[in-house]
Structure 1
Amino acid sequence: MSVDADRLLALFRRHLPLRAGSTELAFASGRDMPVWRNEGGFPIVAVRLTMFDPVDGVIPLDIREQEVCLGDDREHAPERWLAYVEGHLRAMPAILAHFGDGAALLPYDLFAYGAVLADAELQRPEDFAAALSDPARLAVMDEAARAAEWRERLEPLGLAEHVAAVRAMARPSIRLHLSRSHEVDDDARSEAEATSYPGQTRLGGAPDLPPDLPWPEVDGVPLTFVAQFDLAELAGRAAARELPAHGLLSFFYAPIPPDGARAHPVRVLHFTDLDALVRRPVPADVEPLAAYDIDAADELQYPCVDSYFFYESLLPEERILAVHRRRQQGKGGELIPFDRLEGFIAESDELRDYERPFHRLLGHPASIQGDPYLDVEIDTRPQGWDGWVDGTPEALELRRRALRWRLLLQIDAQEDDGLLLNQDGGFFYFWIPADALAVHDWSQARGALQCH
């Protein structure tokens, strides 16, 4: 039995508009009947959420209107369901406070707590109001709703039973945006570089090093300075939790591997005393990269579609081997539909800018072709790709070992004003094993390149 619409409208009119802090909930504008039933018989309310300037409390900064479905009242006794709505409205100030500043808040979010109706002990408006004013209970319902949403999203991938593991794949990243002034001549640019402070975050140019430290090299090959990061500036970002909180983290690489080597030598150096650093001129036999300033932005990423084994690894080993054998035999086969996986990744990444160039610190790598994680793992084998037979237990073990690598830094050879690195428009990666990153053992860093 459904609730009378007039009673529901009267209930909302008793409570709306309501104000909590700098946020107001009211009926949507221009509606003769702000409460009605849709074609499916569900009760709908049209509401407006207004965020005011927190200082003066008068100037509206954002207004969002939405038609909100209140659920199926026919599943509950009318009086109890009305008590739920009454309690929900009484608890609205606590619900608004639960969402904080409401930067991404929509009216629908405020009414997404119908799960309390499953608690038979809640009968009166004050019962529901108390339950919906409890931050711990709201947090539990939020997490349950997120888990249900994720199960639904992962069902087409065959991963509905692995919600927690898939969500754990998301890694925070620091996207790096480069800027370089072309309005000044070389003398002015040199003067600007000379007045910058030691340990300043930047890419290219001349590095800041201890005066008594020999220029970084590997096996007698002097390396090219790539970038340096003032870690104290990054310390508040989610991705930087894996880095030291202070000091300078500097990256050097060899643009061309030595004869007979597949990997590009790299060095990652951590200097703890910025006051002891001095600007070091680049040796004559090293071609420097152009100097850029760096602006940082936060991202949250999932492994790209070329790194599909992150997702496949959650499935039973025999299923993985069987499909990989079919692929090796040219018979195709997918454990996880690639097109749906690509859609899932694009939908799940947060704050991510998909426009090149892709310069980033930590997170997951972008790919030119193939899985960057597998590439760096193969580079650790003396024989490289020789003897690689996809679909074998040995190949499967290599793929599993590849998941241990963590991206430290990715530099895109492509930049707005041409090639940044002397590669063919690809990506250069600085890698480190997860256990080495955990203890900040930079000596285990490795370099790898993907290019066209």
Structure 2
Amino acid sequence: MVFASYEEAHAKVRELCVEHLGEHIGAQVAALAKPAFGLRPVKPGIEPAGLGRWGGPALLNPGTPWPDYDGVPLSLFAVLDVDALGPWLADERPPVGDQLLNIFYCDPDPGRGYELGNAPIPDYEGPRYCRIIPADPARAIEMDAPAPATIRDPEPFYAVPVITIPSAQGVTYDPILDTLDYGGETDGSPYYESLPGWLIGDKLGDAWRDFCHQVQGLYTYEDVHFSPDQAFGWPHMENTFPLKEMSEDEPYRHIITIGHYDMGDGGYLHFVLPAKALRDGDYTQTVAFLEGF
């Protein structure tokens, strides 16, 4: 289903939340909704989202150094063409001028000379282990990854406008849900003091998953494959990550989730940063959380 406008999509989400959570809590959850884009491989008859793609060379402004982690060049995972996504994002957009976002992660290739014995002890959840580097499409040039960074063939994607709310999977949920006023709904529950947000997953979880799959085509591809690839909005999370400190003043921001590559035993990466850092265009505070399955 393609919504005529974000307002129409939000009205549907509010109706669903109030139906399953009641007016008091449901309206609060619906107020947290954010626009996003599901990312899908381009197929015949569908135009790619501008220069957006997984893999390929980076698109960087001249003179931009290739990012590294303690001397190990990072691998280019994706390029996100923000302007090509259209007006759906509204106020959720990055700062003006940050049209192209190059998404990097530390994933060196032994086939290109990487030796584990020489590697530093990794800080997987540190901001240096990943990087988001903006570029101007009018100036950007293609840059190939230096060895031993992994090189992947470019795969264009198209973007599907969707609406998202914070993840709630039973007792595993986005910590931003702890900030809601539950109005005594969970009084007497053993979860209340430590996990008040469990109520959202318990009462809304199945209905929200059906809405995502059946109405939005979100988190599925061709009705068969689970596809977490998504730009902006709230990320779909099955596990709990340490996001509370990133949201001390206001909720964190999500740039992209990438599940297009084999990350060992499977899994996907969420790239997130503090809200103020995104407003300021300070991508050095971005961290990438690897979620396995």
In 1, are the aligned partners of 2:178 and 2:197 still within 8 Å (CA)? no
SS in 1 for 2:57: coil
Point out the structure with the larger helix share. Answer: 1
**Which residue of structure 1 aligns with residue 216 of structure 2?**
351
Q: 1:312, 1:320 within 8 Å by CA — same for their partners in 2?
A: no
The match for 1:407 is 254
Tell me which residue corresponds to 2:239.
370
* Alignment partner, residue 216 of structure 1: 67
Q: 1:220 to 1:314 in 2, by over 3 A?
A: same
Instruction: Give 3-state SS (helix, strand or coil) of 1:282's partner.
Output: coil
User: What are structure 1's unaligned runs of at least 5 residues?
Assistant: 1-101, 105-141, 182-198, 381-399, 414-419
Matched, 1:243 2:106: no
Taking a change above 3 Å as real, the CA distance of residues 333 and 443 of structure 1, as seen in their structure-2 partners, is closer
Aligned-pair identity (%): 22
Counterpart of 2:103 in structure 1: which amino acid?
F
Q: Deviations over 1:271-290 (max 9, x none)?
A: 23x33322112212111233
Larger Rg: 1
Q: CA deviation at 1:296?
A: 1.0
Kept in 2: contact 1:431–1:446 (CA 8 A):
yes
1:319-342 Cα distance to aligned partner (Å, 9 max, x none): 8797466898xxx99962744221
Query: In 1, Cα distance between the equivalents of 2:197 and 2:103?
Result: 39
Say if 2:180 is the partner of 1:314: yes
Match of 2:47 in 1: none
Q: Secondary structure at the match of 1:165?
A: helix
Structure 1 residue 146 displacement after superposition: 8.1
Q: Which amino acid aligns with 1:207?
A: A
Structure 2 length normalisation: TM-score? 0.72
The Cα offsets for residues 341-388 of structure 1, whole Å up to 9 and x where unpaired, read as: 213423655624341222111112122x422xx33447x7xxxxxxxx
The residue number in structure 2 matching 1:9 is none
Per-residue Cα deviation, 1:221-253 (whole angstroms, up to 9, x for no partner): 311111112333124223674224543211111
Structure 2 partner of 1:433: 274
The TM-score normalised by the length of structure 1 is 0.49
Is 1:296 paired with 2:133? Answer: no
Match of 1:449 among 267, 286, 290: 290
CA displacement at 1:291 relative to structure 2: 1.7
- After superposition, the Cα gap between the structure-2 partners of 1:213 and 1:314, relative to the gap in structure 1 and judged at 3 Å, is closer
CA 1:148–1:438 in structure 2 vs 1: closer, same or farther (change >3 Å)?
A: closer
Q: Secondary structure, in 3 states, of the residue corresponding to 1:238?
A: helix
- C-alpha RMSD of the superposition: 3.9
Q: Is the 8 Å Cα contact of residues 305 and 342 (structure 1) preserved in structure 2?
A: yes
Aligned match for 2:23, one of 124, 135, 160? 160
8 Å contact from structure 1 (residues 303, 365) kept in 2: yes
Counterpart Cα distance in 2 of 1:299 and 1:423: 29
Q: For the structure 1 residues 165 and 224, does the alpha-carbon distance in structure 2 shift closer, same or farther, using more than 3 Å as the test?
A: same
Count of paired positions: 259
